[in-house]
Structure 1
Amino acid sequence: MRISESGFISTAAGRFGAHAHSDEHEFHFIVDGTGDFRNQKKRHPVTTRALVYSRPHEEHEFVRGGNCRKLSFYFIRFMPSAAEMKTMSLLQKCFMAGPLDGNDEMQAVFASLERKTNSANVHFKDSAAHQLMAFICELVGGGAVTPSAENRYVRDAVAYMRRTLNTTFDFPALVKELGITASYFDRLFKQHTGMPPRRYFLGLKMNTAKFLLRETDTPVYRIADDLSFSDEFHFSRMFKQFAGVPPKIYRDRFGRRGA
């Protein structure tokens, strides 16, 4: 099992360009919002806590519901090994009737996977691949999905960061909500993620920006404003530090809407 990318997206974009992956399977878990998920020619209504699955070469897209102001979801793309393909065939059968109904425990699994996949700690990345395969086996076996043990403070901190992606980072407000000292939390967070809280928060913003650049035609200045950067130039400079290229070049290389 190899995880290609995992992220959390919260956006008001109405439609995400239809696309397919040549070698990757993909999960989407809806944290908040309603709309339609189209996979090949089938269209399924989705709502909060829905889990959807796409296989390689299956064209799929999200369309946000008309009464829904924002759609928030986790996504994870992965490539199983040859030995795991039998399990993937069984997984396909689980979704023959459409999306599955998830729960809070399932959301905790995707939160853990997103955190570990984007960690600077290589061991966390390896554990994410094992956790994802265990999750798939749970689905195939029909058993209850239970999240792996996580430190409550780190989990709550990451949840706070995701809720406030459209604002600037407020470290004092975060530790006040957690009810612990700043020095203790800073040390704890680095231990669990391999990076300081502010850097992790900025990484969440950049993951959202990458997704919007690839999947939507939202102008760069609007993305910068939605993610609370001081201006487009500040956003472009920070984006280049994370992605290696400016936003417009990233969109030209990886955007699917013009494909």
Structure 2
Amino acid sequence: MEIKDAVFVYQMIEEKEVEWHSRIHNHDQREYEIHYFLQGEGKFRTGATTYNISKGSLFLTAPFEEHTITSTNLTRPLTYYAVLIKTDPRDFEIEDLLRKELQNSNYYNIGTNYRFFFEELREKGLSENSNLRKSAYHQLLSFLYQLSEDELMTGSGNRESVHIEKALMMMQNNIFSEVTLADITEKLKITDAYFIRLFKKKMKTTPMKYYTKLKVEAGASMLISSSLKVYEIADRLNFYSEFHFSRVFKQHTGVSPRQYRNEYRQITGNS
């Protein structure tokens, strides 16, 4: 089993983004997709069944199973993780597990305390480091077994994970404004030094570098899915200026915002 793709969709609101994520689609043989919703209002249709999306909703879809996401309230946009996994022909046990799960239900409500788990899964599962990818594989496998036995906890985990969970929520909810290290540690009631050490241990980067990465990812999404000018995107993301946004964006992606928009619009247009 491998994680083929993992994305974080923050506040699905731009017209082209809504259109893309609302399309009816399916995946190939041995490909299963997990959607985990953190906030917003909408509908998730899989096969002939339509579910209401609520905080903590999780949906599992099978190969070739058509599914679509519909946002029903743009004042409360959807935010979610999507993870695409592919099994190996030799993964008989995993295939049996997934098939049994899908016979029972496509839908689960696991609560909103798995933000850190899915973010870690995304970071590790797409890493160039093979050991981190293996780690993500085992974490996902454990999650699926717990899901099948209805053993996932909707309450809090250990104290360290809870701190990271709350920090991620603050960062993700303030992409279009500004949150400081002091804001986070004051909310968590821990020291800056302890939080930086804890965050770096769990996420392999510092809190503010990670927060900047989230803003760059949001900017990349807007460059592709909206007609906003670069300076307008910079302003919405609370960068000091268009130049500041462009410099930070290039540091993270290797290209300027305009180059990124031109290149990826051609890719998405062709596909």
**TM-score interval for Structure 1 and Structure 2 normalised by the shorter chain:** 0.7 to 0.9
Residue 128 (structure 1) aligns with: 136
- For 2:220 and 2:267, the matched residues in 1 are separated by 9
Is 2:56 the counterpart of 1:49?
yes
- For 1:136 and 1:181, the matched residues in 2 are separated by 35
Displacement after TM superposition at 1:51 (Å): 1.2
Residues 145-204 of structure 1: CA distance to partner in whole angstroms, max 9, x if unpaired?
148756133332222212222223411111111222212222222122211111111222
Task: Give the length in aligned residue pairs.
Answer: 254
Displacement after TM superposition at 1:47 (Å): 2.4
Residue 145 (structure 2) aligns with: 137
Residue 255 (structure 1) aligns with: 268
- Where 2:76 maps in the other structure, the secondary structure is coil
The structure, 1 or 2, with the larger RCO (C-alpha pairs under 8 Å, 6+ apart) is 1
Say if 1:186 and 1:197, in contact at 8 Å, map to a contact too: yes
What pairs with 1:82-231 in structure 2 (closer than 5 Å)? Answer: 82-84=89-91, 87-88=94-95, 90-92=97-99, 94-95=101-102, 99-104=106-111, 107-118=112-123, 122=129, 123-140=131-148, 142-146=149-153, 149=158, 151=160, 152-211=162-221, 216-217=225-226, 219=228, 221=230, 223-231=233-241
Which of 68, 72, 78 in structure 2 is aligned with 1:65? 72
- Where 1:82 maps in the other structure, the secondary structure is coil
- Where 1:255 maps in the other structure, the secondary structure is helix
Residues 213-238 of structure 1: CA distance to partner in whole angstroms, max 9, x if unpaired?
56x44646455444333455543443
- Where 1:87 maps in the other structure, the secondary structure is helix
Q: 1:135 to 1:117 in 2, by over 3 A?
A: same
Residues 123-132 or 157-166, more deviating: 123-132
Residue 11 (structure 1) aligns with: 11
Of structures 1 and 2, the larger Rg is shown by 2
Say if 1:31 and 1:73, in contact at 8 Å, map to a contact too: yes
Residues 54-90 of structure 1: CA distance to partner in whole angstroms, max 9, x if unpaired?
3445554322113652212122222223333553354
Residue 81 (structure 2) aligns with: 74
- For 2:210 and 2:9, the matched residues in 1 are separated by 15
Say if 1:46 and 1:99, in contact at 8 Å, map to a contact too: no
Identity %: 25
- For 2:169 and 2:42, the matched residues in 1 are separated by 23
Say if 2:170 and 2:179, in contact at 8 Å, map to a contact too: no
- For 1:189 and 1:145, the matched residues in 2 are separated by 24
Unaligned runs of 5+ in 1: none
Is 2:248 the counterpart of 1:238?
yes
Say if 1:30 and 1:50, in contact at 8 Å, map to a contact too: yes
RMSD: 3.4
After TM superposition, the score normalised by the length of structure 2 is 0.75
Is 2:47 the counterpart of 1:34?
no
Q: 1:101 to 1:66 in 2, by over 3 A?
A: same
Residues 111-164 of structure 1: CA distance to partner in whole angstroms, max 9, x if unpaired?
213125326794554322211111122333x33114875613333222221222
